């Protein structure tokens, strides 16, 4: 990438943000529905550091926005995350999985194998991957509704809110000028979370990030690479590299489309750096790009804004957020234990 191309991308980012800053900010939030639940679940299990995840994903958001000039997401490696949550991976195991995938992608990028793979994969397969990614997010959202009642777990978190948010999404689709739906929903969610935390005296406090190094040892290498990394490789290659390049060309034809090699190197470098500090393995993805575009993002300025917010949050509040997660997890486990005991007494199991 030449200095001239970086300068033109920077000018495009700045001009787009100045003209459509509300849409850019709203669009930057489009992929948080995938990022936050997985990051919080992994942090609650002690598998990753939430502070490191926020800081390094924030840095990667900023860099991808500056170098590529498109709303390219930085999202969890979902196959690795699913295995890590199900099997309660150690920090070393999930780091090994991220390093394995990053190393394979790095070799594929510098040798030209990714370029060859992109040429031989039919376009219908790529489009099918994009549809599949969208459907998987829809199914994941529907699954979470099973744990909600009409009035519980709380007045601020129940099925009524979910239905209201969905109806609002449909209404914004029919308006001539789209409202910043994601931004409005995010602000409402933050306000409700602050009110609930204030009532329970659980607000986060200032706690500066203290970095620590994670080095996989012994069986953690094989556990991470074989049990989680191998399953992630096809998903990352097809959805996070090949499909995201095709989708970027379709959605943003006026912006230079990143090459497959550049995206592959980006994913590999992110993980070859972040996971050593306990950060969650991350990638780019067509689903996240589509979500951010849908909610208004049109340039790299959107993800730069998101990256700055993540970076500040991780540096200043990261450790206290982890403590809140642990207290929340203990409270949930305690309630589940009480329910199981009551059920045993009542005759159900």
What is the residue extent of each domain of the chain? 3-340
Residue pLDDT, tens place only, 168-200: 878 777 664 566 777 787 788 777 777 776 666
Residue 134's CB is within 10 A of a number of other CB atoms, namely 14
58-67, 68-77, 133-142, 177-186, range with the lowest pLDDT: 133-142
40 near 269, Cβ under 8 Å?
A: no
Residue 231: which of 57, 41, 77, 76 has the closest Cα?
77
Lowest mean pLDDT among 9-18, 127-136, 224-233, 340-349: 340-349
Is pTM, for the whole model, over 0.75? yes
pLDDT at 82 over 80: yes
CA neighbor of 54 nearest in space, from 307, 329, 327, 324? 307
Nearest to 63 by CA among 273, 275, 277, 314: 273
């Amino acid at each position: 990438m030449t200095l001239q191309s970086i300068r033109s991308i920077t000018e495009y980012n700045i001009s787009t943000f100045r003209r459509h800053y509300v849409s850019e900010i709203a669009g930057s939030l489009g992929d948080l529905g995938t990022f936050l639940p997985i990051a919080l679940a992994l942090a609650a299990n002690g598998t990753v550091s939430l502070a490191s995840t926020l800081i390094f994903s924030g840095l990667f958001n900023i860099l991808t926005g500056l170098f590529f000039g498109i709303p390219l997401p930085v999202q969890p490696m979902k196959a690795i995350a699913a295995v890590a949550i199900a099997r309660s991976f150690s920090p070393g195991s999930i780091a090994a999985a991220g390093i394995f995938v990053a190393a394979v992608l790095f070799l594929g990028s510098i040798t030209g194998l990714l370029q060859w793979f992109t040429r031989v994969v039919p376009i219908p397969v790529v489009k099918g991957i994009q549809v599949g990614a969208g459907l998987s997010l829809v199914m994941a959202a529907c699954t979470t509704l099973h744990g909600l009642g009409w009035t519980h777990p709380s007045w601020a978190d129940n099925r009524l809110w979910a239905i209201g948010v969905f109806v609002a999404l449909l209404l914004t689709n029919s308006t001539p000028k789209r409202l910043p739906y994601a931004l409005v929903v995010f602000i409402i969610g933050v306000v409700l979370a602050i009110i609930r935390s204030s009532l329970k005296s659980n607000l986060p406090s200032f706690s500066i990030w203290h970095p620590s190094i994670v080095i996989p040892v012994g069986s953690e290498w094989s556990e991470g690479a074989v049990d989680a990394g191998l399953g992630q490789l096809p998903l990352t290659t097809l959805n996070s590299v090949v499909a995201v390049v095709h989708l970027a060309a379709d959605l943003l034809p006026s912006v230079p489309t990143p090459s497959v090699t550049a995206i592959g190197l980006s994913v590999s470098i992110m993980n070859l750096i972040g996971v050593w500090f306990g950060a969650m393995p991350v990638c780019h993805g067509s689903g996240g790009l589509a979500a951010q575009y849908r909610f208004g993002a049109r340039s790299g300025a959107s993800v730069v804004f998101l990256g700055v917010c993540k970076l500040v949050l991780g540096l200043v509040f990261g450790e206290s957020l982890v403590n809140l997660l642990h207290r929340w997890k203990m409270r949930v486990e305690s309630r589940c234990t009480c329910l199981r005991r009551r059920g045993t007494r009542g005759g159900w199991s």
